[in-house]
Structure 1
Amino acid sequence: MVHPLLFLQFFRELLVETLHISEAGADAIAYTWLVMALLLIVSLLATKGLKTVPSGLQNFMEVIVGGIENMVVETMGEKGKPYFPLIATIALFVLVSNLIGLIPGFYPPTANLNTTAACAIIVFLSTHIVGVKEHGLHYLKHFMGPIWWLAPIMFFIEVIGHLSRPISLSLRLFGNMNGHELVLMIFFGLVPFLVPLPMMVMGVLVSFIQAFVFMLLAMIYIQGSLEEAH
């Protein structure tokens, strides 16, 4: 049986040699697939043999999923429930991607701009797809502003504001995770024992905060597209 880490290394080298991807890009792709595989395995284990009175992994996952669902309802209202799977998937993916970088020798996919940009683009497209689905062509009123004679100016301002959202989402997450990864590597290189531990503890906090911020902004953006334009 092939060891998972050896297979991951083989997959990484295959990407570099066949597709001529940079080593950083290959790391991001390989560890992204690893995160997706971990989430899939955990979900299968948690839902295998579901019990009325949960225990173990099922209980742990129900607490996490229930917490995210409550946050979605509190932030977006009852209309936000259909978008809970999207929000929860993004939140769990970002969180696990952040945390996996704390394991020595592992690379967090969110420390690569391509990964964070992909997540941000999904949120951006989902926001406007939901808006058009909910309001049809009347969704354009969101870009017109409250005063009709200011509509031409407001339209361009709103478009620029909406286009800046995926940029800010991706750069914020990438900057925090990449910066922490660099600092951690420097500390491990200089003093490999004990000193990096406080940075790793801080890394856990940063991982949770950044996943929460990304999820919260995604909910706010989608909630804005669900509202009626005034």
Structure 2
Amino acid sequence: KKFQEIIEFRLSGEKRNLMDPSGTKVMNMLNTQYFYAPDNPQTPQDESQMGANPFAFGNAWLVQDLHKVVNADEEILAINDVDVSTTAIIQEKYLSKVPDFKYDSSGTITQEVLDYKPNHLIYKFSANADQFVVFSEIYYADGWNAYIDDQPAEHVAVNYILRGLHVPAGEHTIEFKFEPNKAATLSAVASIGGWLLILVLVGGAFSLYRDVKNPKQLNDNS
């Protein structure tokens, strides 16, 4: 749903501003490498309508600051005014999951593509201070899990559709793994645990009711 909304709200108009980086923010943050715009008035008829996007942000980038919004409506509107190449737009409900950080201009984040798998993304990170990284990948609440040096890490939604992650100072390996079975298993365990708790409570209530209803039997047994 969110991706469809971003298409209608931003992308449908961005194809008319292909040579303006401020007019192609969503294309750039999605790391769109090439574009094809047969109806683009900026493209002369005698030139190719297929071209490279010189403004793409890359697979991931470090941001200098966070722009806080209250809800999703404010988040998508903020894309118009915020420089998303240097600032991440984030809802207030996620702020507790993002510790303080100080932008390091010498920091780097690169994606490893030794053996590309769409369900397992690997990045190499290096910085002298804690950083906040934005990834040009769609954020999904369930199924995708983040890891820093093989340890689970909590990523958040930013820029309406993307992933963001706080990374501590130093050199680290960051991984995103699509693990829907793990999510389903955790959900099932939580569900089973909930039912077991209900059974325990019901059993305890029944036992109490029985004891109150038969006090004479209790006295006889004692």
TM-score, structure 1 length as denominator? Answer: 0.21
Larger Rg: 2
Q: Whose strand fraction is larger, Structure 1's or Structure 2's?
A: 2
With a CA cutoff of 8 Å and minimum separation of 6, indicate the structure with the bigger relative contact order. 1
Q: Whose helix fraction is larger, Structure 1's or Structure 2's?
A: 1
